[in-house]
Structure 1
């Protein structure tokens, strides 16, 4: 064998080729078994491919990055710099999420110092109908895409307050689009309240949502108008600085 031949690269490509064929992603165990590698080697290669952004990990399943559409919402220090002042000002955790595989995936968490457990939301997928962030994404999607998603998605129940009726959800989505934001009370977790606004690319196409989470005490209704205003400014800054650079 040629001394310049890299078996590591071959193994990484085998992993990518296998994942490419799996529409719903696959776990570490599935990949190791089908590519015939031990779990330690497979895990190391998967982590490297995620770091290189060849793969995305969501809820312990791996996907090719290309399956996230071209309007993938970048995350990292830039988003943190824009959103962190809101976290400090309102003492609420903030989240960035994007639609993927008929769900809303949390791609970044900027947690308030007294809510560090909110970091556990990173990478989690939510049914569109069960949270403000999901409903906000649905409301501002291209109409054709929205119809397709609603047709293919079974409405789920997260808590007793989740919207599971198609007509009620459609009515809610129209209100969200008209007012420019989504709010839910205890639809994801009891005693918690979510508020979310859309994030667009430079062509005004939805790429994700920006949301905040607090209790019904910390995220009070009397603060909502001001908070929505600040979230919308942050959303515009994300669009301008990320997509127009």
Structure 2
């Protein structure tokens, strides 16, 4: 009973201190893909399999039907959005017979249907596309002849997107409609014909710097840590 009282007192003091510090701080998060992390990532889609093995996150297209475009996401959920002022870095990333990279999305209200849609910027290792609610074109054309990269870096702040690949600047542009990002995800895209099991991708490390962390988030993390230490 005394242990519980001490923990509660510690949390009250901590929460008061965090409120006095300010509402939001920045955090750094990384994943070396050494084990499955169901609390950090969520697969969205039905046409691929995502696994963690040998220090890599691997994705393979396994489509349900022939002759169709595949648009699969592996969404970052360890920290909830919205996001702004962050940098994502991928190490040893690439794909074979598919397109792979990072999808940044924002929720928009469709004035005609009055439903919510997602607007995407898709940053692949060899291309960049804009997508509305998951529509993507997968053809033979590509901007860059780099299916694989040693490092891919993507920075976003206040509508400005900056993409670097292996130390070289590839894109630097603004979109005033994207004042923040609602979701961050890996994206796997491809077009399947008769062979529904074609296309694969891999990445060794994912890091994101500049995540906004509120006092509530800090308190939740600390509470979980304190509970684990209780006998």
Q: TM-score, normalised by structure 2?
A: 0.26
TM-score of the superposed pair, with normalisation by structure 1: 0.25
Pick the structure with more helix per residue: 1
